[in-house]
Structure 1
């Protein structure tokens, strides 16, 4: 396989795996909400919160690592004068969100 094909395959697997983790975190958050509503033992709730927080931290760590990969690719493009003004303008919103200079609320 060509490098680009392997990159695209890798990205698909990253999306799939990350979504599974995000779904598991959401399930924990929903469980916690229901447990709190029904008055479950605080220790059991705390255990589930710790699990949900751990999954969230895993996703954040991966997000930062992917941002570093994006930065590396963008730097290589820039070093070879591959980025035009139009390219930069098209990507400005995505980059502002990715690098947390703005939030989705800034675009409402």
Structure 2
């Protein structure tokens, strides 16, 4: 077993548990994967998409405070997050939900 994820700046027990559930057991594995691939694994293992945890991971991997992300850097991270979220979105549970999504009746982020 490698270095605990909770030893990284910004990472606590809840993130460590979420990463373990997603098959990311230690800080070395997290670093090897990088923020995008690691966050994609979290999404595939049931994490709800939310921008703040994504950029917290990115900042942790850089050893920076979570709230250090600003301006153009934050805008670029938001674009990466939106692309990840779109690629890993859960499919609608039914044909009706798919139809409602297509005509814009449901808020796909509300589920």
TM-score scaled by structure 2? Answer: 0.32
- Going by fraction, where is helix more abundant, 1 or 2? 1
Q: TM-score if structure 1 supplies the norm length?
A: 0.32
Max Rg structure: 1
